[in-house]
Structure 1
Amino acid sequence: MDFALSAEQKQIRDTVAEFVDEEVKPRAAEIDEEDEFPADLVDQMADLGLMGMPFPVEYGGAGLDYHSYAIGLEEIARGSGGLGTVVAAHTSLAGNMIYEFGDEAQKETYLTPLNEGTDVGAFALSEAGAGSDVPAMDTTAEYDADAGEYVVNGGKLWISNGSVADTVTLFAKTDPDAGRKGISSFVVRPEEDDGFIVEGTEKKLGDKGCPTAELRFDDMRLPEDRLLGAEGDGFVQALKTLNGGRITIAARSVGIARAALEDAVEYAGDREQFDQPIADFQAIQHKLADMDTKVQSAKLLMHKAADRKIRGEDYIKEAAQAKLYASEISREVANEGIQIHGGYGYTTDFPLERYYRDAKLNEIYEGTSEVLRNTIAQQLLD
């Protein structure tokens, strides 16, 4: 087992870190306050090849391994949690659905512009009554044999990038009586497909800059060549995609936790009380030691899951553990960062309160902590 980064992985880390330090961090507070999609930063990431990191070059991707992708996303999230979600939803969810389950024509037509960053992707699975309980979804796609089209009706909720996406991977019931075996997935092009309606975007605690949309489909017609895979494959496709996505939510979590730790270390060295830096106090030193230990542990779990994915081995438990642990420690580390900053940490003059708000989301999306504990236990007991 080699824990050293390869030359390519170091280059990715350093390139993205430089971009984040120069372009993202100076804008992070503004993005959080205005909650506007930072299209110019997305364009810059596209120029750097960061919008299709884990996909092959022949489809416009960067051809990086999953370790490199996780490292890159960790750095992006270190600068902005919202921007980290933009990239994760675009790549791990929308892009990966098309890469894993699309045919060659679909990959060339829809995946390539996603990887090149000329298009933005979204993954439309959740509904008001179907979050963790995916088969409870109400959205339907009825096949019109005469027209060779699917007619989609229903709605989706909490869709990251949903209001700015050029390509959406959508899940709907093609056989409402078949339960999880009646769910299928499709490629939707919002600008082309009449009946695709953005109802609005959510006002959220954190994750600002990544619009979270409510979508509605009103007799939206999709050509049959928009179906991904076969009818009835959608539920399994969603689970496989979310498994990979959990690695990148672990990366987002680690990035936010690192930001909180780095700021806390700097502040502890600068802030003086009782004629000495607060870093000299053992209570502060213990907090920093625990924070760093949690960050390093989360990174190991993240890379263990990525390694199993790269090797083609089962990684359901490992991805769940990485996401569960990293998401919870990101909140804990951000909380301790606020504590070290004292009253300043509770104000918007310092970014610690933003880290805390951004970290909380990690425990909810792409599998709540409760669902992940169920997943881990099932893997242990099977």
Structure 2
Amino acid sequence: MERQSLSAYDLDDTERELAQMVRAFADEVVAPVSYEADRTKTLPLDVVRQMGELGLFGLPFPEEVGGQGGDYFALCLAIEALGRVDQSIAITLEAGVSLGAMPVFRFGTDDQKATLLPDLLEGRALAGFGLTEPEAGSDAGATRTTARRDGEDWVVNGSKQFITNSGTDITRFVTVTAVTGETAEGRKEISTIIVPSGTPGFTVGPAYDKVGWHASDTHPLSFSDARVPAANLLGERGRGFANFLHILDEGRIAIAALATGAAEGCLEAALDYAATRSVFGSPLSSRQSIQFMIARMRMRVHTARLAWHHAARLRDAGRPYKEAAAIAKLTASDAAMDNARDATQIFGGNGFMNEYPVARHYRDSKILEIGEGTSEVQLLVISRALGMEG
């Protein structure tokens, strides 16, 4: 599959070398510990540290802030290569960059960047982004968490849920969206506030018992008069929601890359299993029904990869990419879920056993149709791009 996943696409030498390097790291370092990490529901921080040493967390950031001087396409290549063997590790990288470091880089003050970015870009620290609440998921404008200015502090009250990278031993802070007032038009003024780990009144709840992504760190958060300095405002006051929408658009490309990797991992596993599994005296792969199923799996991987490549190239070229990102995310998440289902079917009873990667992909892939904007939200974005309102 490597000859198809690398050489058949428009990658330059640097991009191809990066993809090969991360692919090898995924096979040699990530894959051997994935089953145990999934079984024990533990994020392997040693793997995260090694990812930092490889420079993966700094890929899309300029060298002057401690990054690798690459672009978003490079980050997505790495995420795809990791997603092929372990979605939990891939989402740890994606969230660590897109939701942890990128908001600071995009909207932070010089002091915030100098203080927070070095450890984030080296993989020595992680950060989360608290957007989702019990009553505010796709409808993020329904945010109820508040931040009240009190002298030289912000006082934060409220709760967040499903927050990635929020409770690890190396989590440095979470950035939360909060209502900080009211606009002249009477709407909620939403801003983003940096809340360091260990802040009194900031509580990280027990980790969720999830269907999938077991090794990914995910917690509910609560804030009870959590007091942080006024300087912890991230970006312009009242621009928190608008700024996050920008972050969300490019995050959808990264999720599409992750989903493409997952779809390819299922394809590779199905190919290998069908070639070695004998039924009624002949290889499973000799049966046309299996051949057609695997051919469709290959088609989905190819289409998903083209979609995220296109969106990432548009983003890096400074061209509009909102619709392309939605198309990529929708296409790739469908591909991951469909390929996981088909691979599990090809594996038969073995596909129901957690020791096989296809079982993990089957559990993991469903969230790809939900996180970073549900499939229905992507359809809404595409519909609006076509000029349809409702």
Q: TM-score range by the shorter chain?
A: over 0.9
- Matched residues in 2 for 1:4 and 1:373: separation? 28
Amino acid paired to 1:189:
P
The alpha carbon displacement at 1:299 in A equals 0.4
Is 1:10 the counterpart of 2:16 in the alignment? yes
Deviation at 1:29, TM superposition (A): 0.8
Partner of 2:386: 380
The answer on 1:157 being equivalent to 2:161 is: yes
Given that 2:208 and 2:219 are in contact with CA atoms closer than 8 Å, whether structure 1 keeps it comes out as yes
CA contact (8 A) 1:74 1:252 kept: yes
Q: Which runs of 5+ in 1 are unaligned?
A: none
1:148 aligns with 2:166: no
Q: CA deviation at 1:4?
A: 2.5
Which stretch shifts more, 303-312 or 273-282? 273-282
CA–CA separation in structure 1 for the residues paired with 2:55 and 2:160: 30
- Alignment partners' CA distance in 1, 2:187 and 2:266: 41
Q: Which position in structure 1 is the counterpart of 2:197?
A: 190
The separation in 2 between residues aligned to 1:271 and 1:44, in whole angstroms, is 36
Match of 2:28 among 22, 38, 47: 22
TM-score for the superposition, normalised by structure 1: 0.96
Is residue 2:91 matched to residue 1:91?
no
Give the number of equivalent residue pairs.
Answer: 378
Contact in 2 for aligned 1:201/1:212 (Cα 8 Å):
yes
Aligned position for 2:310: 304
Instruction: Specify whether residues 64 and 275 from structure 1 end up closer, same or farther in structure 2 by C-alpha distance, changes over 3 A only.
Output: same
| Contact 1:46 1:117 (C-alpha < 8 Å) held by counterparts | yes
Structure 2 match to 1:335: 341
Aligned partner of 2:136 in structure 1 is 130
**Cα-to-partner distance string for 1:206-229 (whole Å, 9 max, x where unaligned):** 011112101011111121111112
**Partners of 1:244 and 1:23 in 2: how far apart?**
28
- The CA distance in 1 between the partners of 2:162 and 2:9, in whole Å, is 37
Q: Please give the secondary structure, in 2, of the residue aligned with 1:142.
A: strand
Aligned with 1:51: secondary structure?
helix
* 1:180, distance to aligned residue in structure 2 (A): 5.9
Q: 1:199: Cα distance to partner?
A: 1.8
Instruction: Name the amino acid aligned to 2:180.
Output: T
Partner of 2:376: 370
Are residues 1:58 and 2:61 paired? no
Runs of 4+, deviation exceeding 4 Å: 176-181
**Corresponding residue number in structure 1 for 2:3:** none
Runs of at least 5 residues in structure 2 that lack an aligned partner in the other structure? 1-7
Report the counterpart of residue 36 of structure 1 in structure 2: 42
2:85/2:357 contact within 8 Å kept? no
CA contact (8 A) 1:181 1:235 kept: no
User: Deviations 1:302-348 (Å, cap 9, x if unpaired)?
Assistant: 01110110011111100011011101110000110011111211222
Partner of 2:254: 248
Distance in 2 (CA, whole Å) between partners of 1:79 and 1:349 is 13
Instruction: Give the Cα separation in 1 of the matches to 2:372 and 2:237.
Output: 23
Equivalent of 1:283 in 275, 283, 289: 289
Q: Provide Cα deviations, 1:275-306, integer angstroms capped at 9, x if missing partner.
A: 11111111111111100010010000001110
Q: Does 1:351 align with 2:357?
A: yes
Which stretch has the larger CA shift, 75-84 or 298-307?
A: 75-84
- Partners of 2:99 and 2:204 lie apart in 1 by 19
| Selected match of 1:271 from 277, 286, 290 | 277
Cα distance in structure 2, aligned partners of 1:179 and 1:56: 39
Question: Aligned partners of 1:180 and 1:279: how far apart in 2?
Answer: 59
Looking at structure 2, the residues matched to 263 and 115 of structure 1 have their Cα atoms a distance apart, in angstroms, of 33
- Cα distance in 2 for partners of 1:267, 1:130 equals 43
Aligned equivalents of 1:232, 1:245: Cα separation in 2? 22
Q: Secondary structure at the match of 2:57?
A: coil
2:218 counterpart residue number? 212
Change (3 A) 1:81 1:61: same
Deviation at 1:378, TM superposition (A): 0.6
Work out the percentage of aligned pairs sharing the same amino acid.
39
